[in-house]
């Protein structure tokens, strides 16, 4: 039973992370008037710089 609770929790966390990413992409697109591909490139560059 604990296994299923853990899996459900992970699914919710993954879904929340995906929703946050989508909202962030939409905000980037509207704020800076960039395409989705450019927004993803910006995110990847930010991840690389923050390492």
Q: What is the dihedral of CA 41, 47, 49, 50, to 10 degrees?
A: 160
Residue 28 lies in a domain: yes
pLDDT at position 17 = 87
pLDDT at position 48 = 76
Provide the domain limits for residue 34: 13-50
* 2-44 pLDDT per residue, tens: 556 667 787 888 899 889 988 888 887 777 777 777 777 877 8
Residue 31 lies in a domain: yes
Residue 1 lies in a domain: no
Query: Residue 44 is encoded by which pair of tokens?
Result: 């990847």
DSSP state of 51: -
The structure's pTM equals 0.50
pLDDT at position 19 = 92
Residue 2 lies in a domain: no
Q: Domain tally for the chain?
A: 1
pLDDT at position 39 = 75
pLDDT at position 5 = 64
CB burial class (10 A; 0-12, 13-18, 19+) of residue 43?
middle
Query: Residue 2 is encoded by which pair of tokens?
Result: 């604990």
């Amino acid at each position: 039973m604990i296994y299923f609770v853990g899996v459900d929790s992970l699914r919710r966390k993954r879904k929340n992370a995906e929703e946050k990413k989508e909202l962030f992409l939409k905000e980037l697109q509207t704020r800076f008037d960039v395409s989705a591909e450019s927004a993803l490139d910006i995110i990847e560059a930010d991840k690389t710089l923050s390492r």
